Amino acid sequence: MTMVQPLPAAPGALMSAKSTSAAVPLLRVEGVNKSFGTHHVLKDVSLDVRLGQVQCVIGPSGSGKSTLLRCINWLEVPDSGNIYLEGQPMGFCWSGDRLREMKARELATSRGQMGMVFQNFNLFPHRRVLENVIEGPIIVRGIDRKVAEREAMELLDRVGLTDKARAFPDQLSGGQQQRVAIARSLAMKPKLMLFDEPTSALDPELVGEVLDVMRALADDGMTMVVVTHEMKFARDVADRVVFMDEGRIEEAGSPAEIFGAPQRERTRAFLGRVQ
């Protein structure tokens, strides 16, 4: 795999940049491109996400939103471009003065800094709710089982599901399963939460309970990138809204700017259909 330049020439370059604190975003995406066969899905996508910021990514289906999230946490490897978390390149680490690709365990540890909530929950069906939540902390973070269980119960309380700790996923509603998925991601103590259309697989009456948990996370200062079709959530909760179409970021700004006075005709046409 080829890593596109520029990358810092030495680890000191990253460390000095990181030491400037507020000048460095928690997440930086630089010129990312991704293709599947002949289909160019992401086209030179760049964005910054600051600590404590909520960014909502909106746009029509097939615009590359989900692929962008999967590239951010290296579930998909970009064809070109760079992604940094706290100034450190995703998928790579320093060996002396050279960058090398991360080994599988190193990548798992790095990826654990980002919680990912998918459309379809992805819970282990044969394991109880508590077991789903504690597996990552025990295997990846290496913490004691009793500590993991205590932290898991605190998180299940946070999402309103302590009474479901011994249940299996198929005994839960879709909204409950998604709240377990959020607790499972939080159990890794991520610096950044990624949400890939977390309500799209839910019945309409269950959407609110998941959005309420996400609103609470935003109120608590969690840094979040949320791919969503929930325009009201994006308007009410986001600090910044990004509109994507055909693999590109067409427009980005505050909710007031994007929803109240969009500059691009494509943005206006999309919002005219979905609002």
d(CA 60, CA 135): 35
Banded pLDDT at 22 (limits 50, 70, 90): low
User: In angstroms, how far is CA 225 from the centroid of its own chain?
Assistant: 5
Question: Is residue 244 helix, strand or coil?
Answer: strand
Per-residue model confidence (pLDDT) at position 2: 41
Is the pLDDT at 147 greater than 60, yes or no?
yes
Banded pLDDT at 17 (limits 50, 70, 90): very low
Is residue 148 within 8 A of residue 138, CB to CB? The reply is yes
Average pLDDT score over the chain: 90
List the Cα angle 154/155/161 in 5-degree steps.
95
- What's the token pair of residue 93? 């680490």
Q: Is the backbone of residue 41 left (phi > 0), alpha (psi -120 to 50) or beta? A: alpha
Cis omega (within 30 of 0) for bond into 169: no
Residues 218-227 have pLDDT tens digits of 999 999 999 9
- What residue ranges in the chain does DSSP mark as E strands? 27-36, 39-49, 54-58, 80-85, 88-89, 92-95, 98-101, 114-117, 192-196, 224-227, 240-245, 248-253
Residues 72-117 have pLDDT tens digits of 999 999 999 999 999 889 999 888 888 889 988 888 888 889 999 9
d(CA 263, CA 250): 10
Is the pLDDT at 14 greater than 80, yes or no?
no
d(CA 229, CA 189): 26
Is the pLDDT at 127 greater than 90, yes or no?
yes
| Cβ-based neighbours of 56, under 8 Å, separated by 6 or more | 226, 227, 228, 233, 234, 237, 238, 240, 241, 242
